[in-house]
Amino acid sequence: MKNKNFFSISIFTLLVLFSTSCKKDEPTPVANTGQAIAIGDGVFVSDEGNFQGGNAKVSFYRFSDGSSIEDLFSPTNTRPLGDVCQSLSIINGNAYIVVNNSGKIEVANPSNLRSVATITGFVSPRYILPLSSTKAYVSDLYSNTVHVLNLSNNTISGSFAFPGQSEAMTLVNGEVFISSLNHDKVYVVNPITDLITDSIAIAMGGNSMQLDNNGKLWVLCYGDYFTSAAGGLYRINTTSHTVEQSWPFTTFESPTHICSNAAGDTLYYLNYGVYRFPSNTASVPTLPFIAQTTQSFYGLGIRPLTGEIFVTDAVDYSQRGHLLRYTPAGVLTDDKLVGVIPGGIWFY
Amino acid sequence: MKSKRVYTFCHLLLLAFLSLNIRLQAQDTIIAKSCELPSISISYVRAYTTTPGLVVLQADSIQQSHYQAGTLTDLLGANGLLFLKSYGVGNLATTSVRGASANQTSVLWNGINLQSPTNGISDLSLMPSILCDNVSFQTGGGSAGWGSGAIGGVIQTNSYPRFSEGIRARYTGQVGSFGELDQGVLVGFSNSKISSDIRIYNQQAKNDFTFNNTARLGNPLDTVSNSDFLQRGIFGESAMKFKDGNQFVSVKAWYQSSDRRIPPTMLETSSEARQKDEFFRAVANYKYFSKTNFLFEIKSSVLTEFMDFIPGYSQRNSLTHSISFINEADIRFKLFDKVLTYVGLNQTNSKADVTGYVPSTVQNRASLFLAFSYILKSNWNFALNFRDEEVQGKITPLVGSLGVEWSRMKYLTIKTNISRNYRLPTFNDLYWQPGGNLNLKPEDSWNEDVTADFHYKKNGFHGNYSCTIFNRNTTNWILWQPGPGYWSPENLLSVWSRGFENRLKLKYTKDKFDFTLIGGYDYVLATNEKANSPGDVSLGKQLMYVPTNQFYGLVQFAYSKYYLEFNERYTGLRFTATDHSTYLNPFMVTDATVGKRFDYKKSYGDIFFRVNNLLDSQYQAISWRAMPGRNFQVGITIDFKMLVKDKSQTIN
């Protein structure tokens, strides 16, 4: 730190003060194009916003012209979406927007996100998994239950006890596999009886799952946040409920968002960069396919139709993030502003 | 004979404190002017040598007497002394001075820094007004005098003994809307040698106010839930002057427990969060001064802190236990006839047990303080201060300040001060698992001020206006950033703050009529000077939650014993995203108080009725945190004094 001449600073300060005091303070809002959204048009991005900041949003990116809308929900409904938007799933033609820290799900028309119903009564909902046209499960961080939703009238019809935080959910051959962030297991649930029938030992912090082209379930765990125990990647045989192969991480890191292309033969995940490997692999790569440099990669999705890679960048977690579009070969083709802390990518 | 017993008693007390700690200690608050008490115990050396060139604002005494029953949040808020960031009534309240962060302003209690060793925060809502006989606020850096953390400014709160006042008793209480009940009792006794008092207080509120929930369609009325708080405590102090009046010893001890629930934001449906804070703080202090400006002071304190944060909804709670021993020794002597020299040593040992990190984490710090003060021809005043600190064997960069004051007649004082200040990383920054970063450097800040202070006094009129222009550059600003797997603090930000501060005070008294006007206007630019990635557009932008414009005003009319006063506070637009994509609207809050004072001999009483937020404005200080609309308070203070024949009268 160099010492500065005090008087010149004072004079300089005065000049700066006078030159900047006329500057307008008002931020410029991002325009909503107002064009209705149809199936196949683009991708929704769930922007978490800051915890207790109330700035959760749903953004939309259009494939055809690369146009984007930063905030769909609140202009349409003339109220804020809520606190921490965790996920968005299209079920029965409606968008189910899970607003984690507002303890609710907004059911909205995907063409403009006009709310048609609000389901309340959750504690800390995370993801929704449709089981049939009338039934869905909702995972929850702090209720120690999994909620059962009646999709015909959009109400909570019940719940079943779950030993801890329920997180990612996948329906495979009439069984539901549910991961937990604070337990080192994947639980198997019978969706007819809503009873836990089995559990499979893995690492702590199971945050995402993906079914591959061989019918194997991949579970990604970041480990134990409190003890810094490392996580791992697991391939589970969904018939025998056993771990077929595992790739433990050596240190506590932040692997998230395991996902695949439409064919399910190529898997991807995020860990300070985008990693990619074939589903029949014997080893997972040690170097990322798309390296993170100055960005803060936060969300990942693979466009089913083209295999394009979509990644979000949360920058400093206190300003609007970016949606980055890459070709299947990993070449950046677009970069658009979305909301604060864009966490989820949901193709429509 | 008697004085010998006193000696022994004092020695025992000191020993008791010193023995808590193996390493020897030091503290830097000696007293500036010797013989006059009570000013003796409030004018610390460092206040004396570090403030030349800086603006020191005293809480207005009238105001202070009207906010006796509440906390510093209410007192400072109503005084407009500084910008407060409050999460709501009874909840966390911190300050941002010239765009500094919550832990870049030191809160001192009788010269001891109350910033938590674990998170660096000092919560003003945990400081009851009844313990603050005197509150002052110094803008600009003060690390040379007060050590780590004094980057933005220093808030000083002091309780002090009052000798020769006989028996004293005070009751202060107020009831208000939303189940508010605050009470405090002080009982004291003093003669010319001994002064003792004990203070007990209790504050509680349900805080179940209604508000228009602007987050919901049609802005329906909602009621705040999970928002009650309870705070109670006991404080006692004893001080003794020795027979010859050149030695002084005092002991203060304070216990407080508080329990508050944290309400949901407007966008959360409910909250079960709750925070319990409990602490014990004690300080013992011995001073010796001679007529030849020689002074010696030793001060030893112990601060314990317990916090239990219960997030609710079956999440694990987070416990924080910490204990700090702060020991200081100061010496003052005359060098070259006109130069007063001060040397101080401080030793701070802290230990923390926190859910987030390894048990019994210990930190040892020692610092050396050196200051020179020089007064030339009574209208020039110079002060030069230095401090260097050693933390766990590592030496922090040398900090210091140079202050110059020049006055012309009684009308004008020009002040200027340049200082380098620092803030050490907190325990959480260093040791949190995972993420804690042992390689963090202290935050480094340069502050420059120039102030013109005009005074005018004639007949019943008294006017005072001051304008300060400041500049501050802070580097290595510690910020928690997401990394691979977890958040971790880094020396990331560089912040440039600059602006000006205006203060006006007008007072006019004629016969039984009295008019007071106090006003302040601050213009602050605090911008981020470092982008951490090409996509980071926060470069050059005002920091979040720092208003560029702030204004406050107080108007008081008094006739005979009746008074009517209005308080007005305006807070400008604040951004809530670093890229300025979202913001909170400016707001203005007005309070009105009407009251009457009664005097009887040396005793007095005061009753008041207050309307807070008179215009029922709906505003947010923090995003989506509801604040109460118009609400009411009624309060009473009775202060009883009775002189007692003093058999131990001595010559001072």
Is A1's CB within 8 Å of B473's CB?
A: yes
What mean pLDDT comes out for the span A62-90? Answer: 95
Query: What pLDDT does residue B17 have?
Result: 35
Task: Using CB atoms, pick whichever of A1, A143, A252 lies closest to residue B485.
Answer: A252
Spatial distance between the Cα atoms of B27 and B343, rounded to a whole number of angstroms: 10
Angstroms from A150 CA to nearest CA on chain B = 21
- Best residue in A77, A249, A319, A322 to probe B by mutation, most B CBs within 10 Å? A319
CA distances from B619 to A83, B261, B283, B616, B627 (A): 19, 21, 41, 9, 7
Is A54's CB within 8 Å of B623's CB?
A: yes
Task: Using CB atoms, pick whichever of A79, A120, A295 lies closest to residue B533.
Answer: A295
Least confident of A236-250, B200-214, B317-331, B476-490: B476-490
Is A6's CB within 8 Å of B448's CB?
A: yes
Write out the two tokens for B336.
Answer: 């070259």
- Which chain B residue has its CA at the smallest distance from A163's CA? B314
Contact at 8 Å (CB) between A275 and A285? Answer: yes
Task: Using CB atoms, pick whichever of A25, A52, A294 lies closest to residue B534.
Answer: A294
B562-571 vs A125-130, strand pairing mode? unpaired
ipTM of the complex: 0.84
**Tell me: the pLDDT tens digits for B94-108?**
888 898 988 899 999
Query: What pLDDT does residue B576 have?
Result: 93
Task: Using CB atoms, pick whichever of A9, A20, A79 lies closest to residue B215.
Answer: A79
A165 pLDDT tier (thresholds 50, 70, 90): very high
Q: Which residues of B touch A114 (CB under 8 A)?
A: none
What mean pLDDT comes out for the span B163-192? Answer: 93
Q: What is the DSSP string of B152-206?
A: SEEEEEE----TT-EEEEEEEEEEETTTEEEEEEEEEEE-SSEEEEEEEEEEEE-
Does the pLDDT at position A24 exceed 50? no
Does the pLDDT at position A161 exceed 60? yes
Smallest CA-to-CA distance from B373 within B343, B414, B329, B411 is with B343
Q: Which residues of B touch A256 (CB under 8 A)?
A: none
Is B579's CB within 8 Å of A320's CB?
A: yes
Query: What is the separation of C-alpha A215 from the centre of its chain, rounded to a whole number of angstroms?
Result: 23
Task: Using CB atoms, pick whichever of B469, B535, B583 lies closest to residue A315.
Answer: B535
Query: What pLDDT does residue B531 have?
Result: 86
Query: What pLDDT does residue B369 have?
Result: 92
Query: What is the separation of C-alpha B600 from the centre of its chain, rounded to a whole number of angstroms?
Result: 33
Q: Which one-letter DSSP state was computed for residue B39?
A: H
Does the pLDDT at position B342 exceed 80? yes
A68 pLDDT tier (thresholds 50, 70, 90): very high
Region of B45 (left: φ > 0; alpha: ψ -120 to 50; beta: rest) is alpha
Mean pLDDT of chain B, nearest integer: 86
Query: What pLDDT does residue B386 have?
Result: 94
What mean pLDDT comes out for the span B619-648? Answer: 88
Spatial distance between the Cα atoms of B528 and B388, rounded to a whole number of angstroms: 28
Unique residue bearing structure tokens 């206007």: B521
Is A315's CB within 8 Å of B533's CB?
A: yes
B434 or A100, which is more confident?
A: A100
Least confident of A60-69, B288-297, B299-308, B619-628: B288-297
**Tell me: the pLDDT tens digits for A308-332?**
999 999 998 999 999 999 999 999 9
Query: What pLDDT does residue A185 have?
Result: 96
Pairs across A and B, CB distance < 8 A: 150
Q: Which residues of B touch A17 (CB under 8 A)?
A: 498-500, 523, 525
Write out the two tokens for B224.
Answer: 């705040």
